Amino acid sequence: MGLFLVVMTLTMCKNQPAATPSTPEEALAELIAGNERYVNEKSIHPHGNMDRVGETAPHQAPFAAVVGCSDSRVPVELLFDQGVGDIFVIRTAGNNVNSEMVMGSVDYAIEHLGVKLLVVLGHGSCGGVTGAISDGEEEHGNIGHLLATIRNDVSDYVGNIDSLDAAIRHHTQVQVERVVAYPHVAEKIANGELLVKKAYYDVNTGKVTY
Ligand SMILES: [Zn+2]
């Protein structure tokens, strides 16, 4: 009977995440812990059931926002082991924030949703940055516009594909600098209400480093 109760309790707790982070430090700690679970194949897939869907239907209150790449190898909720209503995710190819649509989304997360943490997540082998620094036939149209926007932020690396990884990391750094340069963002950081971090996702290991 005792063992049965233990098994039942463990089963019921399996998908229960820690309490929702209420400070920037707690938010970062939860993303770090979630990525560790993911890397170690110990994901608990929190907040993934219909109770959670119903609970969050009236309003959302994510504790963090992530600006990541659309790359199919960088599934943001999965790699941080988060669920419905946990993180506000903005994904574009190359995770560049230099557009009204992306910055508008970032502002929405910070101003209206009150996220405690904003992560700009670059990743290894990023096709967006690769395209931006590659020599070769120029892309036109929307893809050309996208690559030109990224290229502006990694101009020192154009033509030097051997430095792709450095270019990716530099590109992420530029996005963070761009976000924190906005006075309303800087004010929240100064007040201890928000943390903005750059991060790098390794497509080989699944690990996020900050
Ligand atoms: Zn990418």
CA–CA separation, 99 vs 179, rounded Å?
11
Architecture of domain 21-125+164-209: 3-Layer(aba) Sandwich (3.40)
Rounded to 10°, the helix 164-180/141-153 angle is: 80
pLDDT given for residue 39 in this prediction = 98
User: Cα(2) to centroid of ligand 1, in Å?
Assistant: 50
pLDDT given for residue 136 in this prediction = 79
User: Cα(18) to centroid of ligand 1, in Å?
Assistant: 30
User: Cα(208) to centroid of ligand 1, in Å?
Assistant: 14
Q: Which residues lie near ion ligand 1 (Cβ < 5 Å)? A: 69, 71, 126, 128
**Cβ atoms within 10 Å, residue 59:** 8
pLDDT, tens digit only, all 210 positions of the chain? 455 444 444 444 455 666 899 999 999 999 999 999 999 999 999 999 999 999 999 999 999 999 999 999 999 999 999 999 999 999 999 999 999 999 999 999 999 999 999 999 999 999 999 999 998 788 999 999 999 999 999 999 999 999 999 999 999 999 999 999 999 999 999 999 999 999 999 999 999 999
Helices (H), 40-120: 50-56, 76-79, 100-107
